[in-house]
Chain A
């Protein structure tokens, strides 16, 4: 994978780093895709001027262009011994070393050439994940649509997370965070009971650790254990009274149990704590509608549409508003929102 990426990088270079002393003949040979001829000519030039870095560079580049990374290393190294101040040559040597699996050796050269993409990749290979993330993010900021860079950044981040998690589990196995981590992993593998046990262990280790009740509540909610979910969200609300999300989650699970009025209270509070969250407004509208407060429902949904006129939430909100207006006998408004709903949904029978 690394080799493929480096090959791509090499051919993506806008201009070769060929030094000015290239002979006309070798340049021609390279351009005519006759690497053997070019190699012979560079070797001849080296024999004639052994202290000139140029033919070494030319020879190394020719090897690089034919993906003969192993052969490229020696002449590029020799060129840098003759003149260490050649960043493009450092880059080429860094690529060659990296392609050959010498990531640690490649890093100083890639660093000097300021090639942060390749440097990030080399750092992944040497398990320097934090540095890799930094460098790949920097590279990505210059080339935001490069799928290779996006991939490597994802990989570096994942490795960094794994590294951090392993450290946590190894050094602090009984800590609340270790139990939280294990609980989250169990959840991912649909091991509900194990996840619940680990979340409980996390709480036993640190009773008021913020976020645990929220996650445990979500676990219960996703498994249709709504009463238990409500208890956990209430606990999170107690620990973090300023958490808009805890209020939102509590409101949502109350609504799912049909406790529409209680849900309205929580969702209103969530909306006060963090105004204009479209999801909060959506559920608030639903809870208000079901509790008979059509004014609040209309206000919430209209507000949502002013914030988010497209997307799934907007589509659903048009549907909800159509229901609301239909229930009020406002046929025209109901029809309008139903048309919007149908238009966005593009549904056909």
Chain B
């Protein structure tokens, strides 16, 4: 005997739950000079690539202390697509764009001057990763594409140089999120690149009863991800096979890094779309073993595949261990995998409040940041269904959706007023304190539209500290360092979210605390301690030589 669902067959309508706070945390800003439009070029043929861009990076490319914005564009898609398709990337409309932040908060488009106008023919833009791979003190950028990827070296004079060929990181196929990290703790940033599907114009097809919608990823074959080892001479070695990364084929879209088992080596979580998620455990000898199933992060709490898009790998409940939250499509909740220690994760989606926050929404970019500086990391997620005519398929779903902000109340998330409920086709999201006022802001990308800049206007008098690491023995960015401030832990990274890269500075909300006690475990293994540090400031910390 079974319980009968009285209203069987009813698809859930999209219901946006009421916000639990009355004062919006953010204000949707329209900074002068930020005039980018994400050109994804939707076609009647429903080419899958056109619904997947685009990435965003918040980085301080000129080291003036003001975060700048880099936006990845899609490209022009012919209808139907040509073989080969060049995506018209030479047309300025389809350029990626770098916007330098000015002291007054406005932005200046410096794309051409910075040498970033050329992305190469045959590339349709996807994502971006940021890291100082040559330890020269200037952040470099890696742009992923459907096509060949591009590595831009930051020359330190406001310009970039395409060094892809020399570096040997062009890859190919359909790349999505990427990230810099130092997997062997040799002080040089390595590069991980996710790849989504075995897809091209020949394999493309439209789906649905009337062939009028995007196909499920299961319609296409899986592909392997790429791992490049930094040789330290400006070149990278493709170690995908010998590291064990290429042993797994998936539909990867998101990637995030953290040392989940505290062995001192950075592990990799890969968000896969409708295949099992991957958790690559770093064996510490240049190889990785995939352990998602036996650590409990491969599937949802009811044993089902996730349509994983974006991912964040940080500690949400202040127990010092990095947890995983994955964004995905509706009918499934955004799963929260709580790190229990000893290499085990438990699904705490429901007890963390995500049963109330997800289910009929679709998530992409995600960040765990303490937006109200109360000492608990909150969550921000860009949302929109992947299918632009999903209402025709399921009247209970919506293509355009507002982003989600949920504040963390001692490990339980509750929806809050994001400050802009206009539904959009949200995709990428990056996080940084853009105006250095001690509050983390968010910039998101929107298909077919301008980026959305969510300026944090939270009014509390909570204290904060933002830590900017400078590695000496470790990589210059300090990526992979474990920073503990007054009991809270952040794993230093620019990666995570979806196709995007966030500020390398790590922000901590401190609540009422007027001093910060800081412990840093650098990738080199060096432990550093700073006690009774003055708060409400950006603190630059250099790695001790020993």
A interface residue numbers (CB < 8 A to B): 184, 187-188, 190, 192, 211, 214-215, 218-219, 222-226, 245, 248-249, 255-258, 260, 277-280, 286, 290, 315-316, 318-320, 323, 326-327, 329, 334-335, 338, 341, 345, 347, 349
B11 touches A190 (CB 8 A): yes
Q: Could you say which residues of chain B place their CB within 8 Å of the CB of A257? A: 350, 353, 355-356
A290 contact from B6, B222, B296, B348, Cβ within 8 A: B348
Query: Footprint of A on B, CB under 8 Å?
Result: 1-3, 5-7, 9-13, 15, 17, 222, 248-250, 275-276, 293-296, 299, 301-303, 340, 342, 344, 346-348, 350-353, 355-356, 359-360, 395-396, 412
**In the complex, are the beta carbons of B3 and A277 less than 8 A apart?**
yes
Expressed in whole angstroms, the Cα–Cα distance for A214 and B2 within the complex equals 16
Asked if B17 contacts A224 (CB within 8 A), the reply is: yes
| Chain B positions within 8 Å of A345 at CB level | 303
Check A327–B355 contact: CB distance below 8 A: no
- Judge whether A338 and B3 touch: CB under 8 Å: no
A218 to B348, CA, bound (A): 23
In the complex, chain A residues whose CB is within 8 Å of the CB of B5: 218
Cα distance A347–B353 in the bound complex, in angstroms: 30
Asked if B350 and A260 make an inter-chain contact with CB atoms under 8 angstroms apart, the answer reads yes
> In the bound complex, how far is the Cα of B3 from the Cα of A347, in angstroms?
28
What are 26 A-B contacts defined by CB distance under 8 Å?
Answer: A184-B6, A218-B6, A222-B10, A224-B356, A224-B359, A226-B355, A245-B3, A255-B355, A256-B355, A257-B350, A258-B352, A258-B355, A260-B350, A277-B1, A278-B2, A290-B350, A315-B303, A316-B303, A318-B303, A319-B302, A320-B301, A323-B296, A323-B346, A341-B303, A349-B248, A349-B250
Distance to closest chain A CB from B341 (angstroms): 10
Q: Which of A188, A222, A224, A319 lies in contact with B303, CB distance below 8 A?
A: A319
The reply to whether B7 and A190 form a contact with Cβ atoms under 8 Å apart is: no
Residue from B15, B299, B303 with most neighbouring chain A CB atoms (10 Å): B303
Residue of B nearest to A292 (CB): B351
CB distance from A79 to the nearest CB of B (A): 51
Contact partners of B356 in chain A: CB under 8 A: 224, 226, 256-258
Most chain A CB within a 10 A radius of its CB, from B10, B342, B412: B10
Contact with B3, one of A224, A248, A316, A341 (Cβ below 8 angstroms): A248
A345 to B17, CA, bound (A): 34
Give which listed residue, A223, A256, A258, A335, contacts B12 with CB less than 8 A.
Answer: A223
**Closest A-chain residue to B247, C-beta based?**
A349
Q: Smallest Cβ distance from B18 to chain A, in angstroms?
A: 9
Contact (Cβ within 8 A) B299 A319 = yes
Contacting pair B276 A349 (CB below 8 A): yes
Given the known interface contacts A190-B395, A192-B13, the answer about A258 and B340 at a Cβ–Cβ threshold of 8 Å is no
Chain A residues within 8 Å of B340, by CB? 327
B348's nearest neighbour on chain A, judged by CB, is A290
The CA-CA distance from A225 to B12 in the complex, in Å, is: 10
Q: Which residue of B lies closest to A282 (CB)?
A: B302
Please give me the residue from chain A that is nearest to B9 by CB atom: A188
The residue among A218, A224, A279, A319 with the most chain B CB atoms within 10 A of its own CB is A224
Q: Decide: B15 and A223 in contact? CB cutoff 8 A.
A: yes
Chain A residues with Cβ below 8 Å from B299 are 319
A226 CA to B353 CA, complexed, in Å: 11
Q: Are B3 and A260 in contact (CB under 8 A)?
A: no
A320 proximity list for chain B (CB < 8 A): 301, 303
Q: In the complex, are the beta carbons of B346 and A215 less than 8 A apart?
A: no
Closest partner residue, chain B, to A252 (CB atom) = B3
- Residues of B close to A256: CB separation below 8 A: 350, 355-356
Cα–Cα distance between A279 and B1 once the two chains are bound (Å): 9
Chain B residues with Cβ under 8 A from A327's Cβ? 340, 344, 346
